[in-house]
Amino acid sequence: MKKLKVGVLGATGSVGQRFVQLLDGHPWFELGALFASERSAGKRYKDAAPWVLPSEMPEEAAEMVVKPMKAIGTSSTEEIAVMFSALPGDIASVVEKQGAQAGCAVSSNVVVHRMEEDVPLVIPEINTNHLALIAAQKLKRGWDGFIITNPNCSAIVMTLSLKPLMRFGMKSVHVSTMQAISGAGYVGLSSMAILDNVIPFIGKEEGKMESEPLKILGTLEGSEIKPAPFTICASCHRVPVMDGHTEAVWVDFEEDVSVEEVKKAFLDFKTDIKTPFSPEKPIIVREEEDRPQPRLDRDAGNGMSISVGRIRAGNVENEMKYIVQGHNTVRGASGASILNAEVLVERGYI
């Protein structure tokens, strides 16, 4: 197949850089444009993003001239089929809509549109059927293109682990996260703040953890999504790890469930998605009693698989608990948006 030209919105930020790195050599997509703020526009990418190690920056991207956001919708971007968004939320709320109005499929990693009724919030192994919202979105808004989103980085990891367990009937979920510093962005935390420390608060993170999974695991009814019928309580913390979010999860079931049943549900979880970024095993069970660990497990499935371990009974009736871990800037960010775009191609939406 002929490669589709794609663009990256917010290309000079930490997630934007990861988009550029992961798109290098992609068999379906070809980098066609890089967008950033007026401060970076007009510069070569290697000059606009000087903190990227030269050895990690793709040659194709290095010499590309960064475009300003106002170029979206002009003749210079009319060949762009997909826009990957890594913009700050306040800018994304306007620019992503401009991309959709210009006829692009906008695959966004940004929070701003995730919970809108007509915008699919997608983890492909779970809810590709929610892509049916695209038709309603285009009709309602009069756009030639559309916006789809992937969840928050910590929510992706937990939600993917919850999907196989829904067959047992879940009443409530409690989660305590240990989130990597890369999730705060390139200049998100000073070394003096995080070294030898744990920060027990991440702004707005707990709300995303408690709401986004319920939309993803919900039921599509016509052009509306009925949220999943259980509650989530989250406590989110930043820890001195570079990449990889680790989460302790407690699930209360409606009936008694054994460790063996939970483990088998994880092991049996499969997907029919066969695209370049789709992992062969979305969920990997770690049998060692001290796994998963970020340094050992974050790159599983090229960073697109999550790992679960320490599956054990809780202290109250019908409760199970486990640890889940995943790569926050790959599976939890740019890799998730790229996988979403691949599925759009596979299913004929692009």
Q: Which long-range contacts (CB under 8 A, 24 or more apart) does 71-79 make?
A: 71/33, 71/35, 72/35, 72/98, 72/99, 72/102, 73/98, 73/99, 73/101, 73/102, 76/33, 77/7, 77/32, 77/33, 77/102, 77/104, 78/102, 78/103, 79/5, 79/32
* pLDDT, average across residues 332-350: 97
From CA 12, how far away is CA 42, in angstroms rounded?
Answer: 13
Q: Are residues 199 and 340 in the same domain?
A: no
SS3 329: coil
Write down the pLDDT at residue 1.
Answer: 79
Model confidence at 341, pLDDT cuts 50, 70, 90, reads: very high
* pLDDT, average across residues 22-28: 97
Model confidence at 53, pLDDT cuts 50, 70, 90, reads: confident
Does residue 50 carry a pLDDT above 90?
no
β-bridge partners, 6: 31, 82
Does residue 153 carry a pLDDT above 90?
yes
* pLDDT, average across residues 29-45: 96
Q: Are residues 51 and 130 in the same domain?
A: yes
Q: Please state, for a pLDDT cut of 90, what percent of the chain lies above it.
A: 94
SS3 239: coil
Does residue 35 carry a pLDDT above 80?
yes
Write down the pLDDT at residue 56.
Answer: 85
CA angle 26, 121, 175 (to 5 degrees): 105
Task: Give 263-316 as a DSSP string.
Answer: HHHHHH------STT--S-SEEE--STT---HHHHTTGGGGT-EEEEEEEE-SS
From CA 12, how far away is CA 34, in angstroms rounded?
Answer: 9
Contact 299, 327 (CB under 8 A): yes
Model confidence at 185, pLDDT cuts 50, 70, 90, reads: confident
Model confidence at 290, pLDDT cuts 50, 70, 90, reads: very high
Cα 276 to Cα 192, 208, 280, 343: the distances in Å are: 39, 28, 10, 10
Does residue 52 carry a pLDDT above 70?
no
Q: Are residues 34 and 134 in the same domain?
A: yes
**Where do we find the tokens 């620019």?**
95
For 216-252, the pLDDT digits (tens) are 999 999 999 999 999 999 999 999 999 999 999 999 9
Does residue 127 carry a pLDDT above 70?
yes
Write down the pLDDT at residue 74.
Answer: 87
Does residue 261 carry a pLDDT above 70?
yes
Q: Are residues 293 and 340 in the same domain?
A: no
Cα 200 to Cα 179, 238, 254, 324: the distances in Å are: 10, 6, 31, 19
Does residue 28 carry a pLDDT above 80?
yes
* pLDDT, average across residues 126-132: 98
**Nearest Cα residue to 58 out of 44, 78, 69:** 44
**Where do we find the tokens 């989660």?**
175
Task: Give 56-111 as a DSSP string.
Answer: TS-HHHHTPBPEEGGGTTSGGGTT--EEEE---HHHHHHHHHHHHHTT-EEEE--S
**Where do we find the tokens 């939309």?**
215
Q: Are residues 100 and 136 in the same domain?
A: yes
Model confidence at 54, pLDDT cuts 50, 70, 90, reads: confident
From CA 331, how far away is CA 341, in angstroms rounded?
Answer: 14
* pLDDT, average across residues 165-185: 96
Do you know the residue count of the chain? 350
Q: Are residues 245 and 338 in the same domain?
A: no
* pLDDT, average across residues 275-296: 98
Write down the pLDDT at residue 78.
Answer: 86
Q: Give Cβ neighbours of residue 141 (< 8 Å, ≥ 6 apart).
A: 100, 118
Q: Are residues 337 and 296 in the same domain?
A: no
Q: Are residues 136 and 10 in the same domain?
A: yes
The CATH number covering residue 181 comes to 3.30.360.10
* pLDDT, average across residues 304-313: 98
Write down the pLDDT at residue 81.
Answer: 97
Q: Are residues 117 and 174 in the same domain?
A: no
Q: Which residues are catalytic?
A: 153, 245
Q: Are residues 34 and 110 in the same domain?
A: yes
The CATH number covering residue 92 comes to 3.40.50.720
Model confidence at 75, pLDDT cuts 50, 70, 90, reads: confident
Q: Which domain holds residue 185?
A: 153-328
Q: Are residues 188 and 288 in the same domain?
A: yes
Model confidence at 306, pLDDT cuts 50, 70, 90, reads: very high
Q: Are residues 249 and 236 in the same domain?
A: yes
For 263-278, the pLDDT digits (tens) are 999 999 999 999 999 9
pLDDT, mean over the chain: 96
Q: How many domains does the chain have?
A: 2
Does residue 329 carry a pLDDT above 70?
yes
Q: Which of 18-32, 47-61, 196-210, 290-304 has the lowest mean pLDDT?
A: 47-61
From CA 292, how far away is CA 112, in angstroms rounded?
Answer: 31
Contact 152, 111 (CB under 8 A): yes
Does residue 76 carry a pLDDT above 80?
no
